[in-house]
A and B are shown apart, each in its own frame.
Chain A
Amino acid sequence: MTPAYALQLRDVEKRFGMTHVIRSVSLDIARGERHAIIGPNGAGKSTLFNLISGRFVPTRGSIRLNGEEIAAATPFAINRRGLARSFQVTNMFPRLSVFENLRCSVLWSLGYRYCFWRSVDTLHDAGELANAVLEQIGLAARRDVVAGVLTYAEQRALEIGITIAGGASVILLDEPTAGMSRREADHVVALIRRVSQGRTLVMVEHDMSVVFDLADRISVLVYGEIIATDTPERIHGNAAVQTAYLGTLPDA
């Protein structure tokens, strides 16, 4: 029996010393949902991502991924259970080629683990999958280029590619369009729409047009607390959100 929720957070709390960054966050994200987390700077959005993905251990509370508790698990253990994330600051393997970046990202999910008796070049499924992702993120022409020399927009695309390559069922994207021009952002939105087919997507995003374009539901995080979770239309009309969140919301 599969649980209805891909992610369930219950009373999650995170303190750094005396600083209360996340205060009692509870959130249910359904399987296949596209969920956006918005909020002013310093609200704790990235911290929340770091808690879910295992980069930080929560001070209190429970996080369930597909029904399994992951609150104290390591990042690699969480990844192996089907959750992958991207980073706000591009976080790839800079001295490896674009193709090699993607191939490294599929090895575990294809079951090759710490194999040291087979050459990667004979693992055709890994090569084919990496090439397929390469096509999907539109970097096929840059296949053999060292990732460190890609343009910013290309690096952001690769960042998403690394995140989705392993076939994770839950994808966390941390500000995927940060620092992009309108055209580049539109391109990435289309890419996200494509790659999130059939998966659960949680994203932190500042660009409201991106959020309202993509998300099924939106959570508003202010000072470490979720003040509202609802559909884009209702979030737009929510008075509490209007007062707490100083960003201007576009017409939905």
Chain B
Amino acid sequence: MTDAAAAAGPPPAVVPVGRGRRWLIFTVALLVVLPYLPGLDTDYGRSLLTQMAIAAVFALSFNLLFGQTGLLSFGHAVYFGLGGYAAIHVMRAINQGLPLPMVLVPLIGAAGGLLGGLMFGAMTTRRAGTIFALISLGVGELMHAATFMLPGLFGGEEGITASRTRAPLDFGVTLGPQLHVYYVVVTWAVVAAMLMYAFTRTPVGRMCNAVRDNPERAEFVGYSAQRVRFIAFAVAGLFAGLAGGLHAINYEIVAADAVSAQRSGTVLIMAYIGGTGHFIGPVLGAIVITWLQSSLSGYTSAWLFYLGVFFIVMILCAPSGIAALIVAHRPLVRSRAFFGVLAAYAIALAPLALMGAGAVLLIEMSYRLSTQPELGTQMRLLWTPLDAASAWPWIIATGALAAGVLLFRATWRLVTAAWDRAGGGASP
């Protein structure tokens, strides 16, 4: 092949480092000022940002498996939890006087997750597809059961608690205020995200994509598909464990919910909604879902229902996720047709809001009548007092929903027409 190599064609691709570096500086600057922006400069806001950063690392680690290697795991919380438990035990030891800075605890989490990934990965990566998904589900259930069977290690339902502030070594970072926690967590999150991105650009990271696309062909160019999956699994476990370690620092408690099927499901939803086809997609999903979880739950007790509806709508309308939507709009931004598309969106937004208002009224009134009858039928919804026992609110809500749907279908044509004019092909 040396002859062929000598007759080389164009030079190999060079990553546009300059652009990447500018993005990094912008991101870091944004992350530094975020906790001082109005609305986010409270302990609540900073706690929300911290949770988003943790969720982002977890979702990115999930996508190393799913988006990059084609392994759908229903039990990724296992490695988050193992990292969390490892971290919380070391935090307790630090509380007892172990001379380790608290800010390095996430590394213990990473080690815990890696160990779990190596252990279970050796068994589960032999097969991909449905078999792998089912085994991951089984491992998840097994770990969840183990947290109750070994209370000494996992603390049962109450979990294990530790303090993040009581440490012999702290170098001035006390981790007392939420702001400290935010900066420590977000620093680890940025480092983890960069390392994960770098991993996807290594030879084995590229082969993860190859194995995802065609495991058989990968074997015929010299790679064991199982070994590639195993490495991806261990690395994903490592970063999930790191996220678990950040969780331990943020909450000062790790309990059975850390390894639960619900957490495994949530991370899947985050990655999917954000877009598994783009590296940054899961971060967007983590931000949106974390925000929905924490803000919706403050407004309504039916928030899980709304989350379900949101997920279904996203899967049906934008199966490639938020990241793909953004990428689809990017070529438009510089063209003049972009304003046409924006105007069409604005017009379509009105019936969408009507539709949403009708749906919200119906859901809230049903929820009140069926699950909270003790609160009575007098309600205040969308700034309007109403009585869920009378017929009028129901008629109006149903009418709004129906009118919204009809009008939306009519106005959506404007959107597709605007897209056609923009030459952007199919609308989202």
Give A contacts to B, CB under 8 Å: 53, 55, 74-76, 79-80, 84-85, 87, 91-96, 99-100, 103-105, 107-109, 112-121, 123-136, 140, 143, 162, 165-167
**B426 at the A interface (CB under 8 A):** no
A174 CB to nearest B CB, Å: 11
Selected A-B contacts with CB under 8 Å, 5 pairs: A113-B203, A114-B228, A116-B199, A125-B5, A132-B4
Contact-residue bracket for chain B: 35 or more
**B14 at the A interface (CB under 8 A):** yes
Contact A121 B1 (CB under 8 A): no
Q: Which of B9, B205, B227 contacts A131 (CB 8 A)?
A: B9
A-B contact count (CB 8 A): 140
Q: How far is the CA of A124 from the CA of B8 in the complex (A)?
A: 11
Contacts of A117 in B (CB 8 A): 202
**B209 at the A interface (CB under 8 A):** yes
Contact A93 B213 (CB under 8 A): yes
B230 CB to nearest A CB, Å: 9
A13 CB to nearest B CB, Å: 23
B206 CB to nearest A CB, Å: 5
Q: In this complex, what residue of B is CB-closest to A75?
A: B219
Q: Which of B203, B222, B223 contacts A123 (CB 8 A)?
A: B203
Contact A127 B12 (CB under 8 A): yes
B339 CB to nearest A CB, Å: 31
**B7 at the A interface (CB under 8 A):** yes
Once A95-B209, A125-B5, A133-B4 are accepted as A-B contacts, the answer to whether A118 and B203 lie under 8 Å apart by CB is yes
Contact B9 A121 (CB under 8 A): no
Question: Which 10 A-B residue pairings sit nearest by Cβ, starting from the closest?
Answer: A127-B12, A108-B222, A93-B213, A167-B1, A75-B219, A135-B9, A112-B203, A132-B4, A131-B9, A105-B221
Contacts of A118 in B (CB 8 A): 202-203
Residues 185 to 228 of chain B near chain A (Cβ within 8 Å): 198-199, 201-207, 209-210, 212-214, 216-224, 227-228
Q: In this complex, what residue of B is CB-closest to A115?
A: B203
Contact B217 A128 (CB under 8 A): no
Q: In this complex, what residue of A is CB-closest to B235?
A: A116
B205 CB to nearest A CB, Å: 7
Give B contacts to A, CB under 8 Å: 1, 4-5, 7-15, 198-199, 201-207, 209-210, 212-214, 216-224, 227-228, 231, 235
Q: Which of B7, B201, B205 contacts A132 (CB 8 A)?
A: B7
Q: How far is the CA of A85 from the CA of B219 in the complex (A)?
A: 11
Q: How far is the CA of A76 from the CA of B225 in the complex (A)?
A: 9
Contact B221 A128 (CB under 8 A): no
Q: Which of B9, B15, B207, B212 contacts A134 (CB 8 A)?
A: B9
Q: How far is the CA of A143 from the CA of B11 in the complex (A)?
A: 12
Contacts of A125 in B (CB 8 A): 5
A195 CB to nearest B CB, Å: 9
Most chain B CB within a 10 A radius of its CB, from A55, A103, A132, A162 = A132
Once A93-B214, A95-B209, A128-B5 are accepted as A-B contacts, the answer to whether A75 and B220 lie under 8 Å apart by CB is yes
Q: In this complex, what residue of A is CB-closest to B4?
A: A132
Once A121-B15, A123-B203, A129-B5 are accepted as A-B contacts, the answer to whether A108 and B235 lie under 8 Å apart by CB is no
Contact B224 A132 (CB under 8 A): no
Contacts of A55 in B (CB 8 A): 216
Contacts of A112 in B (CB 8 A): 203
